[in-house]
Amino acid sequence: MKETNSSTTTEPIGQNLIKVISNVCFSFFVFSVLIFTVIAITYQPPDPWLESSKSLITDFTKVENATFKTDTSVISTGEDLILAPADSPSAGFQITEVTIEKSEEKLAYSNSSLNCDEDLNVVNCSDPRVLIAVERFNLKTFKSRIVFLEYQPPVNGSKPNECDVAWKYRNKKERSWRKYRDYRRFTIGFGVNCSYEVTAAKGFRSGFNARRPRLPSGWNSTRTHLPRIPVNPSDSDINDTIPTVGSESAFRQGKYLVYSQGGDHCKGMNQFLWSFLCGLGEAQFLNRTFVMDLNICLAATYNPSNKDEDGKDFRFYFDFEHLKEVASIVEAREFIKDWRKWERTHRRRIPVRRVASYKITPMQLHKAKSTILYRRFDGPEPENYWYRVCEGEAAKYIERPWHALWKSKRLMNIVSEISGRMDWDFDAVHVVRGEKAENKELWPHLDSDTSPDNLVTKVQAMIQPWRNLYVATNEPFYNYFDKLRSYYKVHLLDDYKELWGNTSEWYNETKTLNDGKPVEFDGYMRVAVDTEVLYRAKTRVETFYNLTSDCKDGVNTC
């Protein structure tokens, strides 16, 4: 009896202990959920455009005494920060093995057939089977490098068994959605079951009969006696015309933000970008249209004359069409014309609030009702830098719209052609020399580490021999890399001078933008093209990671 009573008295204690433990665990769970909920509500994630490229932001924000240290060895803009790959479903329609098979199925149901008994040396380029053969050949050859988007019907080449075909594509290494074009000449033969097949293909843009012709400026259908002038086809996809405000009522109903010219003018391009995107970010924060001046002063760093050059067009360097699509902007000269016209017509003033100092924050202007907010930057440097508006407390509210700023499509066409001539199958080495190699105090080993002999030794350890090797560099002497030519097919930017020469598409189009005056292919353009070709390489060898142990920004900065 005693044993029985003992067991009954201990049983409630065990049950109570289990209940206590259960209650503690449940309380801990509820408390954890509560904390997680509070964090989820209050947490504000960082700007994904900025976080996706820490090195870029580090370069831009290294400010000492409100001035910039400009690194011109690599140029990055918004399209380099995009995370979505070019072959994602959002990239639009693509030519794949599935789409080719569907095209073949449609032909199988048609009444057309191929007669092998006819002359096999003559190819009917308009036959849909020819295009299918070309699509399949391209997909097999370039599938890992580019995405095919749209084909034009094949046309006759120079021989009876040749066809020229044009198409649009995107490079898989490029993260923007821009399209490029290629046209090649294919030799067509007959394979198994009397089917067409590609037996040979020439290089990038070799199919001249398939390229889109461009009529000379001033051409009129009634002028039949003009001399035949060979011209390169223009890129009809580029639309960088200047937007206008529109009707008078639309002008008066709008809200605008104007920045006067400040101390950033003629500073390095990195500082220009940092400041310009500050102004554009403030306009978006205030829900206003940003009034931008297309005039850029290019700093001496990028000019052979070693002098600042004013009067450069924003559209020479950046994609104005993309900027118009993603941001509310209007060009300054057009805006001033509309402003004056409205005041003359209505004989009264447009409400303008003039903001004299960057110390008046965007948050203080958020409820301003004036049609025009006019920020002035009249103080001494560095008080007159645009980016000062976005410093301090304002940095928590203003997000610079990096996604709005892409490199010029005209420059990217040059990048595409250089890559295409190497069939998008190349490696690259980035060799930074110039002033850094001369400054032995900050970079004691850079000069010797990038000497011709050491370059050969180090590159051989990372890249297979006789590959296409693109050298992106600021080294001015073309023959400096001759020793590499004994081991690789070396390509330098100057090997492609005709792409911006006086018969090129780039030359003709930038000349049109520049009121008929030729445009120099300056140092900033060179770095931009070099950078983008470098990004497209299969293997990339960097100066301050692979070639030298010196720090990128000098001694003790690693």
DSSP 232-300: PPP-TT---PPP---SHHHHHH--EEEE---TTTTS-HHHHHHHHHHHHHHHHHTT-EEEE--EEEEPG
Mean pLDDT of 329-334: 93
Pairing mode, strands 427-431 and 489-492: unpaired
pTM of the model: 0.80
Report phi then psi at 351, rounded to 5: -65, 120
Look up residue 47 and give its DSSP letter.
P
Count the neighbouring beta carbons within 10 Å of the beta carbon of residue 201: 17
- Band (pLDDT 50/70/90 cuts) for residue 110 is low
* CA distance linking residue 245 with residue 286, whole number of Å: 18
Amino acid (1-letter code) at residue 157: G
pLDDT for res 398: 96
Q: What proportions of the chain, in percent to the nearest 5, are helix, strand and coil? A: 40, 15, 45
**Residues written for the chain:** 558
Please state whether beta strands 63-64 and 67-68 pair in parallel, antiparallel, or not at all (unpaired).
antiparallel
Q: What is the pLDDT of residue 331?
A: 94
**pLDDT tens-digit map of 197-215:** 999 999 999 999 998 765 4
Grade residue 183 by pLDDT with cuts at 50, 70 and 90. very high
Is the pLDDT reported for residue 382 higher than 80? yes
Token output for 342? 């409205």
Neighbour-count burial of 308, counting CB atoms closer than 10 A to its CB (0-12 exposed, 13-18 middle, 19+ buried): middle
Q: Mapping DSSP to helix (H, G, I), strand (E, B) and coil, where does residue 166 land?
A: strand
Residue scoring higher pLDDT (175 or 476): 476
Distance CA 409, CA 413 (A): 6
CA distance 11 to 32: 32
- Position 249 confidence tier, pLDDT thresholds 50, 70, 90: low
Instruction: List pLDDT tens digits, range 485-505.
Output: 999 999 999 999 999 999 999
- The per-residue pLDDT for 4 is 45
Q: Using CA atoms, how far apart are residues 30 and 27, in angstroms rounded to an integer?
A: 5
Burial 252-281 (b: 16+ CB within 10 A, else e): eebbbbbbebbbbbbbbbbbbbbbbbbbbb
Q: CB of 277 within 8 A of CB of 401?
A: yes
Q: Hey, which residues does 156 pair with through a beta bridge?
A: 163
Q: 101 pairs with which residues across the strands?
A: none
* DSSP symbol at 355: E
Select from 146, 179, 178 the least CA-distant residue to 80.
178
In order, the DSSP letters of 356-380 are: --TTS-TTTTTT---SEEEE---SS
The average confidence (pLDDT) of the chain is 84
Q: Is a pLDDT exceeding 80 seen at residue 164? A: yes
- Are 458 and 488 in contact by the 8 Å Cβ rule? The answer is no
To 10 degrees, what angle do helices 409-421 and 505-513 make?
170
Per-residue H/E/C for 212-238: CCCCCCCCCCCCCCCCCCCCCCCCCCC
* Listed range (2-6, 312-316, 503-507) with the worst mean pLDDT: 2-6
CATH code given to domain 409-547 = 3.40.50
Q: Which pairing describes strands 540-541 and 427-431: parallel, antiparallel, or unpaired?
A: parallel
Separation of first and last alpha carbons in the chain = 82
Give the residue extent of every domain in the chain. Answer: 16-45, 89-210, 248-404, 409-547
The amino acid present at 295, given as its one-letter code, is N
**pLDDT value for 68:** 56
Arithmetic mean of pLDDT, 62-87: 58
Which helix (H) or strand (E) element contains residue 353? strand 352-355
